Chains A and B, each alone.
Chain A
Amino acid sequence: MEESQATFPRYLLHHAKVRPTHPAAREKDLGIWQTWSWAEVAAEVRALACGLAAQGFQRGMHLAIIGDNRPRLYWSMCAAQALGGIPVPMYQDAQAADLIFVLNDAEIAFALVEDQEQVDKMQETMPQVPSLAHVYYDDPRGLRNYPDVTSYERLLEIGREFDRGNPGFFEAEVDKGAAGDVAIMLYTSGTTGKPKGVCQTHGALIAAASGGIEFDRLTADESILSYLPMAWVGDNLFSYAQALVAGFTINCPESGDTVMTDLREIGPTYYFAPPRVFENLLTQVMIRMEDASRIKRALFRHFMAVARRCGAEILDGKPVGLGDRLQYRLGDWIIYGPLRNVLGLSRVRIAYTAGAAIGPDLFRFYRSIGINLKQLYGSTETCAYVCLQPDGGVKLDTVGQPAPNVEVKIGDNGEVLVRGPMLLKEYYKRPDATAESIDADGFFRTGDAGFFDDSGQLKIIDRAKDVGKLAGGAMFAPNYIENKLKFFPHVREAVAFGHERDMVCAFINIDMGSVGNWAERRGLAYSGYADLAQKSEVFGLIRECVEQVNAELATEAGLADSQIKRFLILHKELDPDDDELTRTRKVRRGFVAEKYVVLIDALYGDRKEQHIETLVRFEDGRTNMVAADLQIHEAKHFPATARQAA
């Protein structure tokens, strides 16, 4: 580790001095990767900060940042911090109406946004957000005739001029910064209630970042792909905090649609993705394999079986028989290596997943083909830094051991409590919520239920408030069941019900890409999602998945009663625009249960079919009614085979 710095702008200046020509950021623009060195970034941030200062941005103010991952947006975060301001990144796909609350809550006066789409949103919100006065944009396309907005370039010019007139201003401002200052405010997506602004200090983020860097021995030579929403704490930790502390390179993809290609071109050494990204990658591989020739399919099947048998053990350095070892080596040569290359993960030294529980099979798949995928556990309030899995000590069903300098204990009600330097300073303007979530000893209540296993690794069962009991008394952990379902490429989303009921039932969303491809190969005609979802062939397909999950549940201690008895396939995909998912794509269980109460009643009744009408909201805010008759199907149950756990 290098000498530690108190704030991110100081880290930036440090890198500009120590490794001025080392690449700090890359972005693919016009088909070519453009690179900026640390010295160039420092100069740009300086101009940007001076520009903001000249426009009236002051210490303690909030800067809204909205857009896809662009180096300029990351730099504007640093510029705001250099002035003692607080960047507030927001979800770029949120609708204007959803932004109003956050903009008002944070009293936003300055906003730096990516493009016309975001500028339109800002102008739409302005009448209801009186404080918002300055809007800057990065991409000038389509914005020529817009009044009252300023381009990023113009802001830089203003800044350079200001800098010439006030030499030493920038350095003085950076010097004023202290570790205890709030560095960033992130709004929790909130599966319930209004979003809360989580205030994180420089000190907390730097502690979390350095802890992770030390734990995984990260260096300035890492290269990562920054493609996750900037408003998510995970991206903030990996693409901003760790990059600035360790001095490694961030790479911004050309557009949201090119991430796969860009991933392959960059070949990151350190990779972070929520489980759904790994799920999508695997789904694509599986779809393509189904279309491959017979020989390739046979090879793939054979060597994946070998990998399942011994791949993860080889990665962990455990003893494996010579025959398997040789087979694995051969498989690495003809299947795993090329597969890693196709996925863009050839150079990955460490990959993490977090944000939601990952299906054990999914997790095992990546490890078995030689990708060092590990889990970590954390939340916005803890800078995504509570537990990490060590190399060689990875388990499928835990989230790892407490990270350096973090204390974890289990509360009386089974809730996971944590304490350490990475904890939030407070919820913005919500002392009540702050007091409620941090106890007298300084432990933060995570809201997750979990326990430590024999080897001292933390195992998370579910959200504490989601874990319920079946009417028969057995534990019901909906997330656990849903994750099992979601491992099947054909299942995109699932919602399980069962709390205080006599059986478990589920809603299922099919994966349009995967099932659509499956239907095409069978010559099954369909007009769209709703039509495809109600085909009897598709029901058969999904029933197989459900029954396989039931068979697995039957073998697990205490979960045999959680087998899914009845299920239906929803006529529409669950969507954040309809408030059914959070922006980070977690199911809002309560809301879904309320919205589709007729369907739940039908599941627990004995009906075979149920009519439903639903309001659907399109991306541009318009709405439409969708009606459908949903069939309800039953799945086979299996007798419990596991011995009951003590």
Chain B
Amino acid sequence: MSTEQRSGGEIVLKLDNISLAFGGVKALTDVSMDVREHEVRAIIGPNGAGKSSMLNVINGVYHPQQGTISFRGKVRRDMDTHDAAAQGIARTFQNIALFRGMSVLDNIMTGRNLKMRSSFIEQAIWFGRARREELDNRRKVEEVIDFLEIQHVRKTPVGRLPYGLQKRVELARALAAEPSMLLLDEPMAGMNVEEKQDMCRFILDVNEQYGTTIVLIEHDMGVVMDISDRVVVLDYGKKIGDGSPDDVRGNQAVIDAYLGVAH
């Protein structure tokens, strides 16, 4: 599969001169980056480089002190989480954030929350519109379950699943929202080789089949170089590299940041 087919879409998300600080700690300093429609965009960097902060700025968990964000043409100071979700940005978290006591199916159903229009009362008595909605949404959820091949744990409480599967369920919940942009925070952390391969396959399939734009943070360089179209590199809250995987691999600043400078 060639990567050329995917990149080259127009810019859908643009972050300009973003600075974010927590008290005296500067998480991000004057970082600019953009994301093109339909690409797989990776954010990499050593621990504490500001990668997760970057994702949190994109979907409005953090509000940067400086800079602007423009998403689909609309320029704003910061995003709002609810607004981001409503506009089709979904995400997964570095440490799994699922409802542990609920079944896989129910967890994924929560991803459909924004698509439901019926009122609380209607849903409580499961009548008329609520019932139709539930059926439609369930169908959508089943498609996601089928897509991520987790049929066998459909009714299992999430807390009982192994880590790799929980990660997949989290991805499923994000996909159930039918996002146009998916933010993945270390989707492969703590997985074994086989689980990583599966996850890579799923990410590429999502990108290809649903045309979803993907922004991901990942530490496994093999994975990043294999599946991303463009990579941005952060170190100590600053951007030190941006470009195709090959460009980034040859970038001296990036090599220094990762391997340390030779003495």
Please, which residues of chain B bring their CB within 8 A of the CB of A142? 201, 204-205, 208-209
With A258-B152, A620-B197 given, name 18 new contacts (CB 8 A).
Answer: A29-B146, A30-B139, A30-B142, A31-B138, A31-B142, A31-B145, A32-B142, A141-B147, A141-B205, A142-B204, A142-B205, A142-B208, A254-B151, A255-B149, A255-B151, A255-B152, A258-B151, A619-B194
Q: Is A145 an interface residue (CB 8 A)?
A: yes
Q: Given known contacts A31-B154, A620-B197, is B208 in contact with A144 (CB within 8 Å)? A: yes
> A residues 281-339 with Cβ under 8 Å of B?
none
Is there an interface contact between B151 and A145, defined as CB atoms closer than 8 Å? no
Q: Given known contacts A257-B152, A261-B152, A620-B197, is B209 in contact with A30 (CB within 8 Å)? A: no
Per-residue CB proximity of A139-165 to B under 8 Å, as 1/0?
A: 001101100000000000000000000
Is there an interface contact between A145 and B1, defined as CB atoms closer than 8 Å? yes
CA distance A514 to B1 in the complex (A): 41
Q: Given known contacts A255-B149, A620-B197, is B143 in contact with A141 (CB within 8 Å)? A: no
30 residue pairs bridging A and B, Cβ less than 8 Å apart? A29-B146, A30-B139, A30-B142, A30-B145, A31-B142, A31-B145, A31-B151, A31-B154, A141-B147, A141-B205, A141-B209, A142-B201, A142-B205, A142-B208, A142-B209, A144-B208, A144-B209, A145-B1, A145-B208, A254-B151, A254-B152, A255-B149, A255-B152, A257-B151, A257-B152, A258-B151, A258-B152, A261-B152, A619-B194, A620-B197
B interface residue count range (under 10 / 10 to 19 / 20 to 34 / 35 or more) = 20 to 34
Q: Is B95 an interface residue (CB 8 A)?
A: no
Please, which residues of chain B bring their CB within 8 A of the CB of A620? 197
CA distance A255 to B154 in the complex (A): 12
Please, which residues of chain B bring their CB within 8 A of the CB of A257? 151-152
Please, which residues of chain B bring their CB within 8 A of the CB of A29? 146
> B residues 92-144 with Cβ under 8 Å of A?
138-139, 142-143
CA distance A29 to B139 in the complex (A): 10
> B residues 202-216 with Cβ under 8 Å of A?
204-205, 208-209
> A residues 258-294 with Cβ under 8 Å of B?
258, 261
**B interface with A by C-beta (< 8 Å):** 1, 5, 138-139, 142-143, 145-147, 149, 151-152, 154, 194, 197, 201, 204-205, 208-209
A interface residue count range (under 10 / 10 to 19 / 20 to 34 / 35 or more) = 10 to 19
CA distance A142 to B147 in the complex (A): 10
CA distance A504 to B156 in the complex (A): 45
CA distance A558 to B143 in the complex (A): 59
Per-residue CB proximity of A337-369 to B under 8 Å, as 1/0?
A: 000000000000000000000000000000000
Please, which residues of chain B bring their CB within 8 A of the CB of A618? 194
Please, which residues of chain A bring their CB within 8 A of the CB of B146? 29-30
Per-residue CB proximity of A620-637 to B under 8 Å, as 1/0?
A: 100000000000000000
CA distance A620 to B193 in the complex (A): 11
Q: Write the chain B residue with the least CB distance to A254.
A: B151
Please, which residues of chain A bring their CB within 8 A of the CB of B138? 31
Please, which residues of chain A bring their CB within 8 A of the CB of B145? 30-31
CB distance from B7 to the nearest CB of A (A): 14
Q: Write the chain A residue with the least CB distance to B202.
A: A142
Please, which residues of chain B bring their CB within 8 A of the CB of A619? 194
